[in-house]
Structure 1
């Protein structure tokens, strides 16, 4: 039984994360040639204040990033 774990920063749209779960499950089933019902996929959402790249917290990185313009 394949078990896939995805770790990501919290804050994405819930429906987007759910679609990711479904697509990962389907792809895992197809590429490993196992029944879809045997595939388990879990997402761990981590608060940006609890995730670092080096010594920079992701929450600090987001706060200092310039605002993106809408097209």
Structure 2
């Protein structure tokens, strides 16, 4: 089992501030997360998969939604 990360631990892996990651959760645009009551956690595998989905080769290439 992977260690789950909180928002403060996950944000640097993406290169954003924790507040940005919180906003992305509301908008549904960030990596998948796990909710347990009021706690939010991120699996490193979900973060890496989210980043891989956004990998592009040129600035004119669109990102999959």
| Length-normalised TM-score, structure 1 | 0.25
If each structure's strand is expressed as a fraction of its own residues, which one has the higher value?
A: 1
Which has the bigger relative contact order, CA under 8 A and spacing at least 6? Answer: 1
